[in-house]
């Protein structure tokens, strides 16, 4: 079992994006041929830290040209580099989708699509910048693997794992500072989900910022005598179907929570798995066919029914079915 953050560590909030540039610098210092290609957001994405660490020749700023950014990364990967792209998720996946599909994935190149500022946690930037369809876009691409880290430590592990995994990998990171779920230095695996809390009455499968919300919901439900199992589906693709099926086989029902559209993301992956192997009642906590809006992250979690209370209500609903 992976080591979780203790109570003191969980009080320290850090954004998942903060792990990006620092981890790239660590990988470069270890001798890996990593490079970063950015679209004029090196400060916001933190890829600038790679240059600040003495690797200025490994950072390529393409300006506001995300499609070109992906093609430059593809070219660098074709010459033996491990190429990471950096932008906001709405631009780094949406605007550059054709290049990701036809240049990176079709050729199975060693390019890591690793944007920041995904989901409603972008906050005040509003609906135009709150990317809620990216997991769906990336999950549907052949050869692409999809990782959605829950906190800083998990993001660091995801960036390292991407470097160790040949071919395209998508790493989804956010802007907002979030509490620690895992202890620093945690190592996570591709295709693995992690049971963070055991229970018998229902299963909550979550990813990203919703993992911490799911753990909060589990505490709230425990106070009412309901024991839920909480799973971090850090690897959305490939999904750890065995862990999901074993848990739902025990509890008989599931709730899926994600800071993403309910269409095509983690919820769809879990529902597909259960439909094939063990049909069971499922409820979904996610964005319901709508765009986001401007506001503070915590406010938006409650406004869009993505917080711990919404997860509690979803558990009660699925238990009543």
201 vs 250: CA distance, rounded Å:
8
Q: pTM for the full model?
A: 0.97
Residue 163 has which token pair?
Answer: 């470097």
The active-site residue, picked from 66, 133, 210, 258, is 66
- Residue in this structure with the two tokens 């995994």, named with its chain if needed: 165
- Structure confidence at residue 247 (pLDDT): 98
pLDDT tens-place string over residues 40-73: 999 999 999 999 999 999 999 999 999 999 999 9
Domain ranges of the chain: 9-176, 192-318
Nearest alpha-carbon partner for 44 in 138, 148, 122, 142 = 122
Asked if residues 206 and 234 have their Cβ atoms less than 8 Å apart, the reply is no
Listed as ranges, residues in the chain with pLDDT below 70 are none
- Structure confidence at residue 160 (pLDDT): 98
Can 9-176 and 192-318 be said to share one CATH topology?
yes
Give the CATH number of domain 192-318. Answer: 3.40.50.920
Superfamily of domain 9-176: Thiamin diphosphate (ThDP)-binding fold, Pyr/PP domains (3.40.50.970)
Catalytic residue status for 241: no
């Amino acid at each position: 079992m992976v080591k979780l953050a203790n109570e003191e560590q969980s009080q320290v909030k850090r954004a998942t994006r903060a792990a990006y540039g620092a981890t790239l610098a660590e990988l470069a210092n270890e001798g890996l041929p990593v490079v970063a290609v950015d679209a004029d957001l090196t400060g916001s994405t933190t890829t600038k830290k790679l240059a600040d660490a003495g690797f200025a020749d490994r950072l390529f700023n393409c300006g506001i040209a995300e499609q070109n950014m992906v093609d430059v990364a593809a070219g660098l990967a074709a010459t033996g580099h491990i190429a990471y792209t950096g932008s906001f998720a709405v631009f780094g996946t949406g605007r550059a989708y054709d290049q990701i599909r036809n240049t990176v994935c079709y050729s199975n190149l060693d390019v890591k699509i690793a944007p920041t500022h995904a989901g409603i946690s972008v906050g005040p930037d509003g609906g135009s910048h709150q990317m809620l369809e990216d997991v769906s876009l990336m999950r549907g691409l052949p050869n692409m693997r999809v990782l959605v880290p829950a906190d800083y430590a998990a993001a660091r592990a995801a960036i390292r794992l991407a470097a160790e995994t040949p071919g395209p990998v998508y790493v989804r990171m956010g802007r907002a500072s979030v509490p620690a779920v895992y202890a620093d230095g945690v190592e996570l695996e591709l295709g693995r989900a992690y049971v963070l809390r055991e229970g018998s009455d229902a299963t909550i499968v979550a990813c990203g910022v919703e993992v911490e919300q799911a753990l909060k919901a589990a505490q709230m439900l425990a106070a009412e005598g309901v024991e839920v199992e909480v799973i971090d589906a850090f690897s959305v693709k490939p999904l750890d179907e065995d862990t999901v099926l074993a848990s739902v086989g025990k509890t008989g029902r599931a709730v899926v929570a994600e800071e993403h559209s309910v269409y095509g993301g983690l919820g769809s992956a879990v529902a597909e798995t259960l439909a094939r192997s063990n049909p069971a009642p499922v409820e979904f906590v996610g964005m319901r066919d709508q765009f986001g809006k401007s506001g503070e992250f915590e406010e938006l979690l409650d406004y869009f029914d993505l917080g711990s209370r919404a997860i509690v209500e979803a558990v009660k609903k699925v238990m009543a079915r």
